[in-house]
A and B are shown apart, each in its own frame.
Chain A
Amino acid sequence: MNQIVLGVGSGVLGAVFNLNHPAHVVHWHFFEMSVSNIVVILLMLAVFALAIALPFPGAARRRGGAS
């Protein structure tokens, strides 16, 4: 098993950041997740919190709204 062709695709032309390397992984007991997936999950939680917290434009229009 000396040489295992990783077969890295040739398609990273133009990518600013090369993500074609084995992922960094977080281990905790039996929990194991790639850093990229953790970033996605944290982003989702952050975006959800911001979506609820940030004021939505058009408050004046809604205050003057007619039924």
Chain B
Amino acid sequence: MSVAPSPPPAKTSWTVRTREKAVEALPPEKLLPDGQPTYVASWIYVFGVATIASLVVIVASGVILATKGPAWWHYTGIGHFFNSVHMWAVELFFFTMVIHLWGKYWMAAWRGGRARVWVTGAVTFLIAIPTALTGYVSQQNFDSQWISTQAKDAMNATGAGAFFNVTNFGQMYSWHILLFPIAVVALVAAHVLLVRRHGVVPPFVLADAPRSAAGAHSAGGAHTSDGAPR
């Protein structure tokens, strides 16, 4: 008894085209590799994942704060505990992120077509700053009174104050717990997927390195490569 073969996937199917593009860009062994090039051999490489870990702790503690509402942490010890964890996780986030970016700068990690990796990382840093600002003005304590009445001048001077009112707690809280986190997480996801796509940037080739079948080298003799994008 023969079984009729299933029809080939339609090339006009958006689903098929999306799936094929995704799998071509990031096959499973590239999305979740179980090995890394042997030059990944420095503690500087852990600061990217440390930044992600900090973001995880920020979001987790933020979720707990959100479940109980913005006033909770002022009048219970456990609420204050999670607020403290949230605050220190933010300090750790910026701490690890800046060390990560120092390392990536000195490795010129944008080389080999990796400019978008640098760009998504840099934009993440820049977006994290107003994310933190909206958090600071949402604290509902003296610090938020001062920061909001000061920051309003820069916002107003640029015209942003017309639609982004730092003294409006409801608006700032909404941006802080929803809109900015979505942007940060989306940027981090794009950043990590681009790293998986392109791989960790290889080392500079030394000018006095011997030609070798293994390892990165340029066709015209060993020399260092600069950061011009493809």
1/0 per residue A9-49: CB within 8 Å of B? Answer: 10101100000000000000000000000001001100110
Residues of B contacting A51 in the complex (Cβ-Cβ under 8 angstroms): 42-44, 46-47, 99, 103
Q: Check if A14 sits within 8 Å of B44, measured CB to CB.
A: no
Residues of B contacting A54 in the complex (Cβ-Cβ under 8 angstroms): 43
The tally of CB-CB contacts under 8 A between chains A and B is 51
- The size of the chain B interface, using a CB distance under 8 A, is 25
Residue in chain A with minimal CB distance to B214: A67
- The size of the chain A interface, using a CB distance under 8 A, is 21
1/0 per residue B76-112: CB within 8 Å of A? Answer: 0100110110000001000100110011000000000
- Which residue numbers of A lie inside 8 Å of B, CB to CB? 7, 9, 11, 13-14, 40, 43-44, 47-48, 50-52, 54, 56, 58-59, 62-63, 65, 67
- Which residue numbers of B lie inside 8 Å of A, CB to CB? 35, 38, 41-47, 73-74, 77, 80-81, 83-84, 91, 95, 98-99, 102-103, 141-142, 214
